[in-house]
């Protein structure tokens, strides 16, 4: 897991490998810590993720809901093949924007124009 | 210290066969054929405490099993199942019952994760379904049941847990099956002869992930002699002996394989998966129901 600050309250997280029980155990605390307490908007690059199990889904959903309380947003992008199929099967896009590209994800978390 | 004294099939530490004595580290696992031994060091007090915890877990496991339905071997719907938790307590649960003379309900749910917390959550949901304790909900309507469970089991008030679920309602009179799904992969309808399998499912949000979700239902006709297979993802998300990671596509052809004399369908499928994965526990709970409609 790598984290890059893209600006004030905007973070990009890149995940790789498998988000199964063992994979989520390794990153969940850091993933949440980088986003939720500060209420950071976040985009998550999943182009290097091969598989997402229910615990991975739980991490994304829980984080998105916690960010929502803090008026911040989470968007995922770059998901491929089996990962995208899982997201579609659970209709994850009803809660979290699932974007094709980083630019789309940035747009999804950008503050609404006043 | 561990040493193999010339066994035919060898003793393995991880992927390595022992060819000389080795000093074991805490947590190392030795494999001898189908047997696994984990090396742990504990004080007598810790060992006794662990023994008491194990005993409690076994009691809890017995309780979970006691909530599962007995197989139906005669009548207008036949039902049998296989449930093998990956740890002492699993996060899967399932059930079926005749709601009235014409209506047979069956369902399976899979809580995220496994272990004691997930098991408690699955038992809570299972008891609600068994007792039909959803006021004002028509249990013949999968969409109503799923939506009501979703409001009742929101993850924020249930330890951050959610579950996927498949819920089906079979009407004997016109042989229709109406079903709904919440974040669960499809179940499969296999007509007699096993020439094809038809997926029964639709994309939808897991139970507890977000309030206010609406769920769809679909209806199919069930030909005489068909079977419906309902199962958790632990059935197919496995790693084989050759380190291949399976998906649903790897498992589905097994549904169409011939029945085995003297073995139930659920047992046949469990044996098939275990044959691919080899000895040792599966990564996730194995839960599979087979409903046959004569």
Q: Render each residue's pLDDT in chain A as its tens digit; 114 residues.
A: 999 999 888 999 999 999 988 899 999 999 999 999 999 999 999 999 999 988 899 999 999 999 999 999 999 999 999 899 999 999 999 999 999 999 999 999 987 765
Of the residues A91, A93, A95, the best mutation for testing chain B's interface (the one with the most B CB atoms within 10 Å of its CB) is A91
Smallest CA–CA distance, residue A25 to chain B, in Å, is 11
Cβ pair B203:A90 closer than 8 A: yes
Q: Does the reported pTM lie above 0.90?
A: no
B156–A65 C-beta distance less than 8 A: yes
Residue B290 has pLDDT above 60, yes or no: yes
A89:B183 CB<8 A: yes
Indicate whether this complex's ipTM tops 0.95.
no
What are the start-end ranges of the H helices in chain B?
44-67, 116-130, 142-152, 248-255, 265-277
A57–B contact, CB cutoff 8 A? yes
Residue B113, chain A, CB below 8 Å: the answer is: yes
Q: State the Cα–Cα distance between residues A41 and B269, nearest whole angstrom.
A: 45
Tell me the C-alpha to C-alpha distance, in Å, between residue B274 and each of B34, B170, B192, B251: 12, 31, 25, 12
B170: number of Cβ within 10 Å: 23
CB contact under 8 A, B164 and A53: no
Rg of chain B, C-alpha, whole Å: 21
- Position B188 confidence tier, pLDDT thresholds 50, 70, 90: very high
> Count of CB contacts below 8 A, A vs B?
59
The predicted structure's pLDDT at residue B88: 65
C-alpha span between B126 and B95 (Å, rounded): 8
Point out the residue among A62, A89, A92 whose CB comes nearest to the CB of B185.
A89
User: What is the least distance, in Å, from the CA of B165 to any CA of chain A?
Assistant: 11
The token pair at B191 is 């007509």
- The first and second tokens of residue B188, run together, are 């499969």
Give B33-78 pLDDT, tens digit per residue: 877 888 877 788 888 888 887 787 788 788 888 899 999 999 999 9
Q: What is the structure's pLDDT at B86? A: 78
From A20, A58, A94, residue closest to B210, measured CB to CB: A94
Closest to A75 in 3D by CA, of A99, A55, A52: A99
Count Cβ atoms below 10 Å from residue A95 Cβ, excluding itself. 20
pLDDT in tens, B115-150: 788 889 999 999 999 999 999 999 999 999 999 999
Query: How high is the pLDDT of residue B136?
Result: 95
Interface probe with A: pick from B92, B111, B181, B203, most Cβ of A within 10 Å: B203
- In this complex, the residue of B112, B203, B213 whose CB is nearest that of residue A54 is B112
Residues 25-84 of B with CB under 8 A from A: none
> B113 and A95 in contact by Cβ < 8 A?
no
Identity of the residue in B112, B206, B210 whose CB atom sits nearest the CB atom of A55? B112
Bridge partners for B230 per DSSP: B289
Of A6, A82, A70, nearest to A44 by C-alpha is A6
């Amino acid at each position: 897991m790598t984290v890059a600050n893209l600006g004030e309250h905007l973070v990009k997280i890149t995940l790789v490998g498998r988000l199964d029980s063992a994979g989520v155990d390794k990153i969940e605390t850091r993933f949440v810590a980088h986003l939720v307490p500060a209420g950071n908007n976040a985009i998550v690059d999943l182009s290097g993720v091969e598989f997402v199990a229910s615990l991975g889904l739980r991490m994304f959903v829980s984080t998105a809901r916690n960010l929502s309380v803090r008026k911040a947003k989470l968007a995922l992008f770059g998901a491929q093949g089996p990962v995208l199929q899982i997201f579609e099967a659970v209709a994850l896009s009803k809660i979290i924007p699932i974007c094709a590209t980083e630019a789309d994800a940035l747009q999804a978390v950008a503050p609404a124009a006043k | 210290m561990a040493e193999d004294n010339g066994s035919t099939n060898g003793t393995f530490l991880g992927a390595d066969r022992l060819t000389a004595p080795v000093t074991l580290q805490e947590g190392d696992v030795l494999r001898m054929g189908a047997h696994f031994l984990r090396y742990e060091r504990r004080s007598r007090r810790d060992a006794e405490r662990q023994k008491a915890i194990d005993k409690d877990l076994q009691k809890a496991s017995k309780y979970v099993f006691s909530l599962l339905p007995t197989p139906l071997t005669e009548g207008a719907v036949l039902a049998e199942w296989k449930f093998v938790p990956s740890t002492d307590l699993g996060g899967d649960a399932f059930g079926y019952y005749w709601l009235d003379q014409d209506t047979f309900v069956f369902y399976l749910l899979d809580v995220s994760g496994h272990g004691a917390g997930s098991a408690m959550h699955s038992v809570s949901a299972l008891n609600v379904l068994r007792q039909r304790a959803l006021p004002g909900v028509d249990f013949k309507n999968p969409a109503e049941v799923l939506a009501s469970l979703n409001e009742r089991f929101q993850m924020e008030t249930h330890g951050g847990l959610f579950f996927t679920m498949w819920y089906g309602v079979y009407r004997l009179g016109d042989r229709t099956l109406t079903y709904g799904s919440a974040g669960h992969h499809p179940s499969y309808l296999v007509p007699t002869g096993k020439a094809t399998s038809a997926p029964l499912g639709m994309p939808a949000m897991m139970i507890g992930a977000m309030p206010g979700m609406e769920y769809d239902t679909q209806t199919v006709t069930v030909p005489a002699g068909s079977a419906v297979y309902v199962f958790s993802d632990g059935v197919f998300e496995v790693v084989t002996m050759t380190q291949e990671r399976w998906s649903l596509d790897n498992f589905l052809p097994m549904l169409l394989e011939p029945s085995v004399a003297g073995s139930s369908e659920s047992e046949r499928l469990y044996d098939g998966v275990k044959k691919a994965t080899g000895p040792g526990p599966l990564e996730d709970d194995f839960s599979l129901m087979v409903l046959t409609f004569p």
